[in-house]
Structure 1
Amino acid sequence: MPYITISTIRGILDAAQKKTLLERITDVMVEVEGQGSPDFRRNVWVRIEEQEPSHWSLGGMQPTSEIIASTFGAIGADGVRVAR
């Protein structure tokens, strides 16, 4: 029974991207570990763990919500990315 955790910065993935990521990671685990068995799907746990931007650093730089929104686009309260 695999448990997969994806760690990311809050604000990068919108609701549709999360749904796609969860589905596709599950598909890969069924294909690889479950050897294609459809029954294996019910044993695959996938979790997206989002953390505040201040908890991350890349090259010594901490991203801000503003940097993330300007790079990826803002996400509305409904979880949908707002058009730029």
Structure 2
Amino acid sequence: MPLVTVKVVEGVFTTEQKKEMISRITDAVVDVEGEALRPVTWVLVEEVDSGLWGIGGTGLTTTDVQSLQGRVPVPH
């Protein structure tokens, strides 16, 4: 029973994007392991609080990730 955990910074991806991640990741596992594993493939999308994902000693914020994506940050 495969379990895949995806961690993302909060507020970066929409619910629809996270559902698409789940679907595509499941498809990728099935491509490798076979269709019989689809019903028992678990994918968890976990959000990490903005600023609590550290890279190089600095907390990465939602705004930082949106900037990397070339998106204009949405005010909260």
TM-score tier by shorter-chain length is 0.7 to 0.9
Q: Which runs of 5+ in 2 are unaligned?
A: none
Aligned residues: 72
Indicate the residue corresponding to 1:82 in structure 2.
none
Q: CA deviation at 1:53?
A: 1.8
Range with greater deviation from structure 2 (25-34 or 60-69):
60-69
Indicate the residue corresponding to 1:31 in structure 2.
31
| Cα separation, 2, equivalents of 1:65 and 1:25 | 23
| Cα separation, 1, equivalents of 2:43 and 2:75 | 22
Q: CA deviation at 1:66?
A: 4.3
Runs of 4 or more, structure 1, over 3 Å off, are 64-69
Q: Is 1:58 the counterpart of 2:55 in the alignment?
A: yes
| Cα separation, 1, equivalents of 2:42 and 2:31 | 14
Check the 8 A contact 1:11/1:75 in 2, yes or no: no
Q: Is 1:15 the counterpart of 2:12 in the alignment?
A: no
Percent identical residues: 33
Q: Is 1:41 the counterpart of 2:38 in the alignment?
A: yes
SS at match of 2:47: strand
Q: TM-score, normalised by structure 1?
A: 0.69
Q: TM-score, normalised by structure 2?
A: 0.75
Q: Which structure is higher in strand share?
A: 2
CA RMSD of aligned residues (A): 2.2
| Cα separation, 2, equivalents of 1:24 and 1:75 | 29
| Cα separation, 2, equivalents of 1:45 and 1:24 | 12
